Structure 1
Amino acid sequence: MAGQKSSSCSRVFVAESLMPRFIELLAQVVQSLVVCHPLDYRCFMSAVVSQDAYDKACGVLQRAGADPGVRRVCGGRADPEVGYFVEPTVYVVREPAHELLCNEIRGPLLTVCSFPDNDPDSLVWAMAQSPYATSGSIFARDREWTRWAVSALRDLSATLYVNDRCSEELPGQQSVGGTRKSSSGGAKAGSISYLLQLAPYPRPPC
């Protein structure tokens, strides 16, 4: 969906020791993606959905290109000649409160930020800087670290996956909750919170 789904992955936090290799592999994968007409069998991603979506994505590309605190790893081009095509783009930033990490972008743009290996609590703080929190994923091999991460991050995302993609929700088939400014603003997917909006309320006696 070219990053336009509300639960699409738009930011990644990586331990500092893994950052160089992660960026190297990520760039290889992103640069191999084929962007073209959706009827072409090679197509991984097509154009964004509208002129408005294209303009918003281009605005992000322009601001990021002029920001000295942003490093572009790959991508960064847009071409409206034959459609609203935006190249899959990867950025690296150091500031967890940066616009690219905190705002909804809704386009094929991914921002990566590192956190200290010996200070995992800084990851919790970094994730809390965004007012949006629809979906998230934890990828790890260490079980103890994974348990800690699930416990620490469970309230920072309406839906939290472990070693699986964060865009598993099926709109129209599965209810999608949200925290803070996302979706309904306080309900987790499939939680009892939905009943709060639907529970019968007895009329008080006159």
Structure 2
Amino acid sequence: MQNRAEKKRIVCFGDSNTWGFDASTGGRFPEGIRWTTLLQEHLGEEYQIVEEGLPGRTAVLDDPLLEGMNASAYLQPCLMSHSPLELVIIMLGTNDAKERFGLTSFNIAQGIAKLSLKAKQLLSGHNGLNSPVLVVVPPPIGPEYAKTPIGKSMGKDCDDKTEHLANHLTELLQESGIELLDSKGKVPMNRIDYMHLDEEGHELLAKLVFNKVKTILGDG
């Protein structure tokens, strides 16, 4: 039997923007449009991208209206089931801005930092070692979201909370060894609900993450 090399696995752990929610249809973007599948194409057959996106997912909070949204409760079994991993990519924060959670922008960043530190401490890498962790800060929610149907569910000030996430995360993670990638100003949200990526956004995010991943893994 021919020997086959194990593919290098990367887990992309996030919410509806990792799942690939298409605000124009209410469905899911197909492969070839989602940023995770585009990242797979950029990296090539040597890698395997594991898509772990869940619409509504929060970093460390239980949602009283939606079951199973707390990323912290699922992170360990998720990462360990896919181990050994080359890298863990976390992109969360959009749902944590919902008014019903009552968090400040700094509180949201604290939750993401706590989750990413947990990911870094898990022995999900090769030979029982840790996996590197990359935190991607999602694009801020556009202020226009409040005038769309999603605005009633999200509540007030979600745009302002997500606007400042990158600054807080830079402060919180500066000595952690966790990599940070800010998509603000580089990747736009759509013009439908202003809190999800459109096709252009997925393409731009895939390129941005690809360049960062190659640097982290020493291939760029």
Same fold (TM over 0.5): no
Using CA pairs under 8 Å that are at least 6 residues apart, name the structure with larger relative contact order, 1 or 2: 2
Structure with a larger share of its residues in helix = 2
TM-score, normalising length from structure 2?
0.35
